[in-house]
Amino acid sequence: MEIFDLALAYVWEYDEDFINLTEQMLQDSGISTFRISYHNIFEVTKKIEEKKLYFNFYLDRASDVEEDFVPLANILSRKKTTIFNPYKNVSHAADKASMHLEFITAGLNVPYSIIIPPHSEKEEIYISLDDLAILGRPFIIKPCNTTGGGIGVVTGAETLKEVFEERMSNYNDKYLIQQKIYPTILDGKRSWFRCFRAFGKTVLSWWDDQTHLYSEMTEDEIKIFNLKKLFSVTKTIAEITQLDFFSTEIVLTSENKFVVVDYVNELCDMRLKSKHTDGVPDRIVNQIINSLREKILRLKRSS
């Protein structure tokens, strides 16, 4: 039987740089890697079934978008392979309605929201004038289980008619109707943050919600603007979701409140800024891969 430390499954062409860099950094530390994509998914699944191949760890960036990878995910879930972002935890974290309620219970600030049942369960809904007044205009409409890249999200809704129309487009999904949150300005920057939780460590960055551009956050900025709470908020989300690797969006408002506005992105876009204008700063990507490297080495030592 061939045994590798880490298997990396991916199908998105823009993941290539992230996968290459991950393999390079891990292999330099003596960690063996194996990549899985369209070219070998069926061969790998067969070898795993026949016990000719085994992975100690698995980072899956494929099965959520490509059905051909699901059988392998199911097989590895039954084996002793450590899956980064266990599938049951991903399913839990992907439900925005559940996250909304659990975040409130944990004491996190979230936008005022109304949870709407799926159209398939309840055609008619009632929203009070008081609720609409609190929401304000414009407001946000989000499907609760359709995830990734803002799919299905309406950020500038003005009328209930738009809510009714969106419910029809995702007939079986719950919806959040959400208050729009506005960031305060810190030294010319919108105080909108993309916070990564990567294998036990938190990495912070600025992320402009209008331009979708990242910029690195310095230790001085964390001190000057009193942003340390971003660490504790992100850690609390990690404790709720039990995910190894995710990002979340947090906004600092003019009332000095840290509000979690996009709860959990369980499959982070890892395009490098050196290759893509709106990519993640390379240094942050390196920090994330280094956290993965340290986690694998730690788990190997303890096994």
Domains of the chain plus CATH, in order, are: 2-84 (3.40.50), 112-179 (3.30.1490.20), 183-268 (3.30.470.20)
Q: Measured between alpha carbons, how far is 190 from 177 in angstroms, rounded to an integer?
A: 23
Taken in order 208, 214, 219, 220, the sign of the CA dihedral is negative
Task: Name the pTM for this structure.
Answer: 0.90
pLDDT in tens, the chain (303 residues): 999 999 999 999 999 999 999 999 999 999 999 999 999 999 999 999 999 999 999 999 999 999 999 999 999 999 989 999 999 999 999 988 899 999 999 999 999 988 887 877 777 777 777 777 888 888 888 887 765 555 668 887 888 788 878 887 777 788 888 899 999 999 999 999 999 999 999 999 999 999 999 999 999 999 999 999 999 999 999 999 999 999 999 999 999 999 999 999 999 999 999 999 999 999 999 999 999 999 999 999 987
| pLDDT at position 251 | 98
Nearest to 261 by CA among 192, 187, 199, 204: 192
SS3 247: strand
Long-range contacts of range 146-154, CB-CB < 8 Å, 24 or more positions apart?
A: 146/170, 146/173, 147/94, 147/265, 147/266, 147/267, 148/64, 148/265, 148/267, 149/269
Identity (one letter) of the amino acid at 277? T
The beta strand positions in the chain, using DSSP E, are: 2-10, 33-36, 53-61, 82-84, 113-116, 139-143, 154-157, 175-179, 185-186, 189-190, 192-198, 201-207, 214-216, 245-252, 258-265
Q: Burial of 204 by CB count in 10 Å (0-12 exposed, 13-18 middle, 19+ buried)?
A: buried
Contact predicate 58/76, CB 8 Å: yes
Identity (one letter) of the amino acid at 96? K
Identity (one letter) of the amino acid at 162? E
Q: Measured between alpha carbons, how far is 97 from 155 in angstroms, rounded to an integer?
A: 17
SS3 18: helix
Task: List the beta bridge partners of residue 58.
Answer: 7, 83
| pLDDT at position 149 | 53
SS3 174: coil
| pLDDT at position 146 | 64
Q: What are phi and psi for residue 131, nearest 5 degrees?
A: -60, -45
| pLDDT at position 120 | 78
